[in-house]
Chains A and B, each alone.
Chain A
Amino acid sequence: KNEVEQSPQNLTAQEGEFITINCSYSVGISALHWLQQHPGGGIVSLFMLSSGKKKHGRLIATINIQEKHSSLHITASHPRDSAVYICAVREGNKLVFGAGTILRVKS
């Protein structure tokens, strides 16, 4: 079993829809990261969470430490949000990555 599981693996949405991507992990962590990878390949850090909730523009990330679960929400989705979204957890000095969720937003 992977230490970090993301769902769904693939997601297609219509422009304007509210999107949720989930991340579950099985190890004790000190922090959780959400990353975005665009088709060109570059990876950008969106959020780092150790508790609660963070918001940046149309993106919201939440984490429930007791349930070992995090969600990334995108409000009013837009085609430019199309990317791979990656969850990563910090376990000691190590980062463990999920396989990513491929999001496509259609206009």
Chain B
Amino acid sequence: DADVTQTPRNRITKTGKRIMLECSQTKGHDRMYWYRQDPGLGLRLIYYSFDVKDINKGEISDGYSVSRQAQAKFSLSLESAIPNQTALYFCATSGGPGANVLTFGAGSRLTVL
């Protein structure tokens, strides 16, 4: 099993629908992140969490919300999806010395029509 598992891997939805992307990890890392990737741009941080009671906005949090249900689970929600949220979404964890051990999920490709 992958250390960081994202579901679904692919989703096509319509404008206005609610979408949840889920992430679970077996690394035992406290820190979890959601990023989005768009062609020609670097990964951009949506939200991050350093423990279950700690949730922080990233640089592009508008239109998104998150929930840290447990140390191992971090989900990303789009309450009302819009076409410019079409992107590849990555969940990542970090831990180890200096929290510098990075592990990424395989990505969730979301298309909003």
Residues of A bordering B, CB below 8 Å: 2, 4, 30-31, 33, 35, 40-45, 48, 86, 88, 90, 93-100
- Do A44 and B42 touch (CB < 8 A)? no
Please, how many residues of chain B have a CB less than 8 angstroms from a CB on the other chain?
23
B54 to chain A, nearest CB (A): 11
Residues 94-110 of B, flagged 1 when their CB comes within 8 A of A and 0 if not, give 00001011111111010
| A90 in complex: contacting residue of B50, B92, B100, B103, CB < 8 Å | B100
- A94:B40 contact, CB within 8 angstroms: no
Which residue in chain A gives the minimum CB-CB distance to B31? Answer: A93
Complex CA gap A94/B109 in Å reads: 24
Would you mind naming 7 contact pairs between A and B with Cβ atoms under 8 Å apart? A30-B98, A31-B98, A33-B102, A40-B106, A41-B106, A48-B102, A100-B42
Using CB atoms and an 8 Å cutoff, list the residues of chain B in contact with chain A. Answer: 33, 35, 40-45, 48, 50, 88, 90, 92, 98, 100-107, 109
Which A residues are CB-close (under 8 A) to B88? 41
B9 vs chain A, min Cβ distance (A): 9
CA distance A86 to B33 in the complex (A): 17
B41 A99 Cβ-Cβ under 8 A: yes
The 5 closest A-B pairs by CB, nearest first: A97-B42, A43-B104, A41-B107, A97-B43, A45-B102
